[in-house]
């Protein structure tokens, strides 16, 4: 409540300052910049963010103010950590504190370097395996006039986070081997011919060959490595780990990839930040509802074998207009009707003519109990959607069963004929009794 109020105030301030707004979760950004890096060296990136509507606050890694979390309420919506060489941080930027910040749904953009720092140790907690200290990514291809550590990397065209057609980007820094964590969102991978090795003498190449002969164990080489990797926590806070801070700098942004072709660094950096700061691929559930097939209002409970309709309204954040818009583009949304196990799992299909509404009609299972409508949509890169609605399913009431079934008529006839027989028997018995008493009287 407090946080949302704070976010509202901040976003109102942001709106007052600039009408062109970006993030769905707030526009205040804390930039932790190590003293050796100057703001002017990243002017294209930071100005690009400010142009989008973000308000940037700068802070050195060892400063104590401004604080990140006050009274358990985060004061910033996003944090950029451009302190790849810093070995000691203020108390509230320690790795544990950063995890706590993530739990408050504050997004992080973290730059690493070949040096070993607290941040590179934290990367291991996100299933990113860094090479030993002092081993940056190297590539001797394509032949170029730069050092082997400054590598042009082609931007993948099929990544939903990145703008298609972005020119190759210059990269210099440390690669990461990706663990099997499903929460990882690889954004940029190392070129196939690159490897991590000791820069000075290029002697690490021997180690690479050795490792390759051992079946790739301990090998930091090839396109399986990531250089910029996202991570989305289970409650949809986002972290981006970039292997080098130069990727975001003006020097690489202005450096030409080929003669006359500017590098894609500016575009790539802003795309990456857009994903990390909840501009891109952000979904939310507006409303869920359920009712009987021929009714419109929800029931408090349903009867077994009822025909139930479940619908859900989903919006996607549109950063260009700073507005949520109904989104019908999900093709693999599913509904589970669950009591411990999903008894029904069915597709939620977009309703034609109703933007953002997905609906499923299904028959309740022939089993009573406390069920849940569960929508659990987890896709790499997208906000995780989860909705659970509890509803009891009861057996029919005593008068809710079908009656006078044709199959049961022999039994009805049997019971009726027994009763009729009993009545006739009693009547005849009594009639005969009279006669008999008369007879007995006569005989007496």
Partner 1 sequence: MAGPKATAPVKGTSSSTSSSSSPSAVQTLWKAYLDHTAPRLKFIDSFLTFLVLSGVLQFVYCVLVTSFPFNAFLSGFASTVGQFVLTASLRSQVNSENRTLFKDVSPERAFADFVIGSVVLHFFVFNFLG
Which of these segments, 26-34, 238-246, 353-361, 420-428, binds partner 1 (CB under 8 A)? Answer: 420-428
Q: Does 419 bind partner 1 (CB under 8 A)?
A: yes
Does residue 320 belong to the site contacting partner 1 (CB under 8 A)? no
| Binding flag, residue 410, partner 1 (CB under 8 A) | yes
Task: Tell me how crowded residue 303 is: count the other CB atoms within 10 A of its CB.
Answer: 15
Stretches 201-209, 245-253, 315-323, 414-422: which one binds partner 1 (CB under 8 A)? 414-422
Q: By CB under 8 A, is residue 417 in contact with partner 1?
A: yes
Number of residues that bind partner 1 (CB under 8 A): 24
422 lies in the site for partner 1, by CB under 8 A: yes
Sign of CA dihedral 127, 131, 136, 141: negative
Stretch that binds partner 1, among 143-151, 155-163, 239-247, 404-412 (CB under 8 A): 404-412
Query: Is residue 407 within the footprint of partner 1 (CB under 8 A)?
Result: yes
438 lies in the binding site for partner 1 (CB under 8 A): no
Q: Which of 144, 169, 148 is nearest to 227 (CA)?
A: 169
Place of tokens 């979390």: 69
- Is 424 near partner 1 (CB under 8 A)? yes
CB of 408 to partner 1, least distance (A): 4
Measuring CA to CA, which residue among 75, 72, 83 is closest to residue 30?
Answer: 75
Task: Verify binding: residue 408, partner 1, rule CB under 8 A.
Answer: yes
Residue 114 is given by DSSP the state: S
Q: Which stretch binds partner 1 (CB under 8 A): 20-28, 176-184, 386-394, 416-424?
A: 416-424
Window of 70-78, 114-122, 323-331, 408-416 that interacts with partner 1 by CB under 8 A: 408-416
SS3 411: helix
Rounded Cα distance, 296 and 322, in Å: 33
* DSSP result, 207-264: HHHHHHHTTSTT--BSTTEEEEEEEE-TT--EEEEES-SGGGSHHHHHSEEETTEE-S
The distance of closest approach from Cβ of residue 423 to partner 1 in the complex, given in angstroms and rounded to an integer, is 9
Q: How far apart are the first and last CA of the chain?
A: 103
Per rule CB under 8 A, is residue 400 in the interface with partner 1?
A: no
Q: How far is the CB of 308 from partner 1 (least distance, A)?
A: 26
Q: Which of 141, 192, 426, 438 binds partner 1 (CB under 8 A)?
A: 426
Binding of partner 1 by 141 (CB under 8 A): no
Kindly state the tokens that stand for 215: 């079946």
Q: Is 388 in the site for partner 1 (CB under 8 A)?
A: no
- Cβ of residue 407: shortest distance to partner 1, in angstroms? 5
Is 405 near partner 1 (CB under 8 A)? yes
Judged by DSSP in three states, 428 sits in helix
Q: Which of 51, 88, 432, 438 binds partner 1 (CB under 8 A)?
A: 432
Is residue 403 close enough to count as binding partner 1 by CB under 8 A? yes
d(CA 76, CA 254): 30
Listed residue (175, 123, 167) closest to 149, CA to CA: 175
Binding window for partner 1 (CB under 8 A); candidates: 186-194, 235-243, 306-314, 412-420? 412-420
Torsion of CA 409, 414, 417, 422, to 10 degrees: -150
Binding residue (CB under 8 A) for partner 1 from 39, 286, 323, 425? 425
Distance of CA 57 to the CA centre of its chain: 28
Strand-strand pairing, 107-111 and 78-82: parallel
14 with 55: CB under 8 angstroms?
yes
CA distances from 10 to 16, 55, 77, 273 (A): 10, 9, 9, 19
Identify whether the C-beta of residue 308 lies closer than 8 Å to the C-beta of residue 293: yes
- Does 418 sit near partner 1 (CB under 8 A)? yes
Binding residue for partner 1 (CB under 8 A) from 13, 57, 386, 412?
412
Q: Which residues bind partner 1 (CB under 8 A)?
A: 401, 403, 405, 407-408, 410-415, 417-419, 421-422, 424-426, 428-429, 432-433, 436
């Amino acid at each position: 409540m407090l946080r949302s109020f704070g976010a509202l105030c901040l976003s109102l301030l942001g709106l007052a300052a600039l009408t062109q707004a970006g993030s769905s979760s707030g526009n205040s950004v804390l930039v932790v910049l190590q003293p050796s890096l100057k703001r002017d060296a990243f002017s294209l990136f930071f100005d690009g963010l400010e142009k989008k509507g973000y308000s940037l606050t700068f802070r050195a890694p060892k400063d104590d103010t401004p604080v990140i979390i006050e009274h358990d309420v985060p004061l910033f919506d996003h944090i950029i950590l451009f302190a790849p060489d810093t070995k000691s941080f203020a108390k509230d930027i320690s790795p544990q504190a950063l995890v706590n910040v993530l739990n408050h749904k504050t997004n992080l953009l973290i730059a690493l370097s070949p040096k070993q720092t607290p941040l590179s140790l934290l990367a291991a907690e996100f299933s990113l395996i860094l090479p030993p200290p002092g081993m940056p990514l190297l590539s001797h291809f394509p032949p170029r006039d730069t050092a082997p550590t400054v590598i042009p990397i082609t931007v993948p065209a099929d990544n939903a986070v990145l703008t298609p057609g972005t020119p190759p980007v210059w990269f210099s820094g440390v690669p990461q081997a990706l663990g099997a964590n499903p929460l990882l969102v690889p954004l940029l991978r190392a070129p196939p011919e690159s490897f991590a090795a000791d820069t000075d003498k290029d002697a690490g190449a021997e180690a690479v060959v050795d490792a390759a002969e051992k079946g790739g164990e301990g090998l930091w080489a090839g396109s399986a490595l990531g250089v910029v990797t996202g991570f989305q926590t289970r409650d949809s806070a986002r972290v981006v780990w970039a292997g080098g801070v130069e990727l975001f700098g003006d020097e690489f942004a202005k450096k030409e990839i080929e003669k006359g072709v500017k590098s894609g660094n500016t575009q790539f950096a802003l795309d990456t930040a857009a994903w990390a700061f909840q501009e891109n691929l952000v979904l939310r559930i507006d409303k869920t509802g359920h009712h009987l097939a021929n009714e419109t209002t929800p029931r408090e409970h349903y009867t077994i074998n009822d025909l139930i309709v479940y619908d859900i309204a989903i919006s996607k954040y549109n950063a260009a207009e700073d507005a949520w818009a109904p989104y019908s583009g999900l093709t693999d949304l599913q509904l589970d009707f669950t009591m411990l196990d999903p008894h029904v799992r069915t597709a939620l299909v977009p309703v034609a003519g109703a933007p953002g509404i997905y609906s499923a009609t299904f028959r309740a299972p022939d089993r009573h109990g406390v069920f849940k409508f569960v929508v659990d949509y987890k896709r790499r890169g997208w906000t995780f959607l989860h909705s659970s609605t509890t509803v009891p399913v009861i057996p029919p009431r005593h008068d809710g069963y079908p009656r006078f079934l044709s199959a049961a008529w022999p039994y009805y006839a049997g019971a009726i004929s027994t009763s009729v027989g009993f009545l006739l028997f009693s009547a005849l018995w009594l009639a005969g009794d009279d006669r008999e008493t008369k007879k007995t009287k006569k005989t007496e």
